Amino acid sequence: MSSEEELVLEELTGLITQYVSGSDGDPKMYEVVIVPQSDEQTEAVRSLLPGVASKSAPGGTVFSAGRFFSQRYAEAVCDKYIALGLFTAAVDP
């Protein structure tokens, strides 16, 4: 199995586990947040994530790019935005 397949399998396992267990409990998830460093980056994030509202967080204004079951998958999503020059982190809310 390739490393990419393992990564996707981790995320799918979390998703399926949550589905099977129903709404019992709050699963551990990792939120990918983008923290724009300028007005230009804020506009870029708004175009990348249409309909996603900004929110205040310690350290500034952030945009959520999603919540994920696997930390490694969340970090892979972060890498996508980091490659675009955006300050991005996976946080455990």
pLDDT digits (tens, 9 = 90+) for 1-56: 898 888 888 888 888 888 888 766 677 899 999 999 999 999 999 999 999 999 99
Cβ neighbours of residue 78 under 8 Å, at least 6 residues apart?
32, 88, 89, 90
- pTM of the complete model: 0.84
CATH of the structural domain 3-91, one choice from 3.30.70, 1.10.3470, 1.20.1740, 1.25.40:
3.30.70
User: Which pLDDT score is estimated for 24?
Assistant: 63
User: Which pLDDT score is estimated for 80?
Assistant: 97
- Domain limits, the chain: 3-91
pLDDT in tens, 62-80: 999 999 999 999 999 999 9
User: Which pLDDT score is estimated for 79?
Assistant: 98
Task: Answer for the pair 30, 90: CB distance below 8 angstroms, yes or no.
Answer: yes
- Statement: residue 85 has pLDDT above 80: yes
